[in-house]
């Protein structure tokens, strides 16, 4: 269904799609360039001076299919939100997240440059769902790129081991001992990993967490909402996860975290 949430980004709130199945089906029928509501307003200025937020979708999705909930939710809260479809192949049509990860990271780099030029910002924040979190981390391994990132929020994003989507072997650079699957973390970047005990894709769910560190926060949804049975897909469509994401992006202006029914897959 369509719901709205209040915000100050513009005169009327952007409609928010809360049904993952409907949003994904709609997104699959749209061009890869179709932006979810509230995103890719390149003239946007955040009145609170926060970093622009770039949303990176998961495997076998595109920007519209994955972000029909979170993009307008963040925009309604005053964020400057951007999204892009990456990782298309010669056979995948308007669906992304299927190509070589090295190439995807470089596609994202070109998009970051565009966002920084348009907004005048020095840094961006990433929110990555599933593979999107890995691509954000791979972006930071490119020369000079870690300095362009403040925060990476991973929603059920695999950081170590493998998931049911298979072993992803194209990394940039190769993993060293003690690193996660996507290379080293950077002391200047805040990493916030949001996980669910009922993840059926990035499984077992601890693969979505990082070893503890001063700039690393791992949060299990069930530690916040014990009755939640949210699944992997539902992480991008959850009011609980949206509130946790907002608190990760702007910890000085925390919002209440609601608990309720979420998509269980």
Q: Residue-wise pLDDT tens for the chain (265 aa)?
A: 444 333 334 457 999 998 999 999 999 999 999 999 999 999 999 999 999 999 999 999 999 999 999 999 999 999 999 999 999 999 999 999 999 999 999 999 999 999 999 999 999 999 999 999 999 999 999 999 999 999 999 999 999 855 444 434 454 444 555 567 788 999 999 999 999 999 999 999 999 999 999 999 999 999 999 999 999 999 999 999 999 999 999 999 999 999 988 888 6
Q: Largest Cα–Cα distance in the chain?
A: 51
Q: How far apart are CA 206 and CA 163, in angstroms?
A: 11
Look up residue 194 and give its two tokens. 């949001």
Omega of the bond leading into 173 within 30 degrees of 0 (cis): yes
pLDDT attached to residue 168: 43
**How do beta strands 15-17 and 2-4 pair?**
antiparallel
Residue for token digits 């005990």? 197
* Fold for the domain defined by 2-249: Rossmann fold (3.40.50)
Q: What is the DSSP string of 209-252?
A: ----BTTEEEEEHHHHSTT----TGGGGG-HHHHHHHHHHH-TT
pTM of the model: 0.91
Instruction: State how far the Cα of 12 lies from the Cα of 37, in Å rounded to an integer.
Output: 12
Q: What is the pLDDT of residue 163?
A: 46
Domain ranges of the chain: 2-249
State the pLDDT at residue 3.
41
* Contact yes or no for 72/15 (Cβ under 8 A): yes
For position 161, what pLDDT does the model report? Answer: 59
pLDDT tens for residues 57-89?
A: 999 999 999 999 999 999 999 999 999 999 999
Mean pLDDT of all residues belonging to the chain: 90
Question: Phi-psi bin for 40: left (phi > 0), alpha (psi -120 to 50), beta?
Answer: left
Asked if 54 contacts 63 with a C-beta cutoff of 8 angstroms, the reply is: no
């Amino acid at each position: 269904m369509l719901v709205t949430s209040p915000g100050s980004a513009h005169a009327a709130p952007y409609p928010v799609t809360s049904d993952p199945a409907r949003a994904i089906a709609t997104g699959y029928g749209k061009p890869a360039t179709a932006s979810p509501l509230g995103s890719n307003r390149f003239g946007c200025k955040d009145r609170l001076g926060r970093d622009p937020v770039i949303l990176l979708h998961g495997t076998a999705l595109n920007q519209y299919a994955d972000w029909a909930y979170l993009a307008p939710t963040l925009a309604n809260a005053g964020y400057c939100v951007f999204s892009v479809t990456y990782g298309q192949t010669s056979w995948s049509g308007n669906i992304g997240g299927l190509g070589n990860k090295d190439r995807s990271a470089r596609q994202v780099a070109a998009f970051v440059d565009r966002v920084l030029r348009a907004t005048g910002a020095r840094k961006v924040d990433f929110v990555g769902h599933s593979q999107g979190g890995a691509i954000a981390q791979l972006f930071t391994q490119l020369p000079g790129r870690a300095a362009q990132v403040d925060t990476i929020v991973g929603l059920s994003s695999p950081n170590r081991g493998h998931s049911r989507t298979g072993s992803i072997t194209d990394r940039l650079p190769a993993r060293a001992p003690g690193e996660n699957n996507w290379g080293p973390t950077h002391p200047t970047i805040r990493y916030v990993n949001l996980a669910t005990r009922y993840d059926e894709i990035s499984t077992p769910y601890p693969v979505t967490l990082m070893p503890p560190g001063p700039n690393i926060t791992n949060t299990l949804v069930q530690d916040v909402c014990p009755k939640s049975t949210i699944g992997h897909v539902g992480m991008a469509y959850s009011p609980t996860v949206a509130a946790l994401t907002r608190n990760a992006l702007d910890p000085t202006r925390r919002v209440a975290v609601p608990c309720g029914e979420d998509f269980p897959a």
